[in-house]
């Protein structure tokens, strides 16, 4: 069972694992019907296949017809998905499917707004690990659906030496040396810095990527000039739609933005179900 399957099963158990007293009282006998999920606003779609898997998990006999793919721009009033089959199964899957679609599409929609605002092919907009616990896989998929890119997925697939690591090690030089001695030569080493002195230390330690954390624009500009192409430069902290282009104009290569996931608002959807 993969991560998405586990998330879906947990969400379904949370919602109806002990039964659905309302629907089971109304539908004493099996009946078939048709359900449609309808957009109540314009947005960028994400999570459509997750929603399909929700219904398939409830009842593999349900037939789902997907009208769009992740990344498509949806207009208010359009039907995203059609479900045919057992009404009890549809009603049990309704809220869970909507929850996934609404949340993930909200992330894709906000990401697209950031990407359109940035409009700079030389700067890559990436997400962070500030995701809903358990949902990281699908939330990072939603960022890609919106046109953004992913930073590291977890602690195992990317090296990022942060301020607390440096405090524990004693210095940037020591922290980088310890990591380099233990890890593969194929992995880049990224170091978080907060001022120009730390930037110089990261350069001296031959960091592959230097993250400029919570720097003001003037200091960031000086740091980029100091690095001068000797490392990939990432900007992080205080990133918003209002500051995005000013940060990009400093010459950084990457902008990481936690807001893509932790500040996204769910979109408005509804499901309409009718007996046949």
In contact, 25 and 264? CB cutoff 8 Å: no
Catalytic choice (9, 34, 84, 95) = 95
Does the active-site annotation cover 130? yes
Q: CA distances (Å), 122 to each of 50, 119, 233, 251, 255, in order?
A: 32, 9, 12, 9, 11
Catalytic residue among 86, 139, 141, 192: 192
Assess whether 95 carries a catalytic annotation: yes
Whose CA is closest to 40, among 77, 73, 79?
77
Catalytic (active site) residue 213:
yes
Tell me the C-alpha distance between 39 and 151, whole Å: 30
Residue 248 is encoded by which pair of tokens? Answer: 């990009």
Bridge partner list, 63:
84
Annotation says 76 is catalytic: no
Helix axes 48-58, 87-118, angle to 10 degrees: 170
Tokens matching residue 174: 């020591």
Catalytic residue among 94, 139, 213, 253: 213
Question: 9, 67, 130, 152: which is the annotated catalytic residue?
Answer: 130
Burial class for 2, CB neighbours closer than 10 Å (0-12, 13-18, 19+): exposed
- DSSP class of 251: T
CB 266 within 8 A of CB 22: no
Annotation marks residue 162 as catalytic: yes
Write out the catalytic residue numbers.
95, 130, 162, 192, 213
């Amino acid at each position: 069972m993969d991560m998405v399957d586990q998330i879906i099963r947990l969400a379904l158990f949370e919602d109806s694992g002990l039964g659905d007293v309302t629907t089971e009282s109304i539908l004493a006998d099996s009946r078939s019907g048709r359900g449609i999920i309808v957009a109540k606003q314009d947005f960028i779609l994400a999570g459509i296949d997750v929603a399909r898997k929700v219904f398939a998990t409830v009842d593999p006999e349900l037939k789902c017809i997907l009208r769009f793919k992740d990344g498509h721009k949806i207009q208010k009033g359009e039907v995203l998905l059609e479900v045919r089959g057992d009404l009890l199964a549809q009603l049990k899957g309704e809220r869970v499917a909507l929850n996934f679609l609404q949340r993930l599409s909200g992330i894709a929609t906000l990401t697209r707004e950031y990407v359109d605002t940035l409009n700079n092919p030389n700067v890559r907009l990436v997400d962070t690990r500030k995701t809903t616990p358990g949902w990281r896989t699908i939330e990072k998929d939603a960022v890609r659906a919106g046109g953004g890119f992913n930073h590291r997925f977890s602690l195992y697939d990317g090296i990022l030496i942060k301020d607390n690591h440096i405090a524990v090690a004693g210095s940037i030089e020591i922290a980088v040396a310890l990591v380099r001695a233990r890890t593969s030569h194929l992995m880049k080493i990224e170091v978080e810095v907060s001022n120009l002195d730390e930037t110089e230390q990261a350069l001296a330690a031959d960091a592959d990527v230097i993250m400029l954390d919570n720097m003001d624009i003037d200091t960031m500009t000086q740091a980029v000039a100091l690095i001068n192409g000797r490392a990939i430069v990432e900007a992080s902290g205080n990133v918003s739609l209002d500051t995005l282009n000013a940060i990009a104009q400093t010459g950084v290569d990457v902008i990481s933005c936690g807001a893509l996931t932790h500040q996204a608002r769910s979109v408005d959807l509804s499901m309409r179900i009718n007996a046949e």
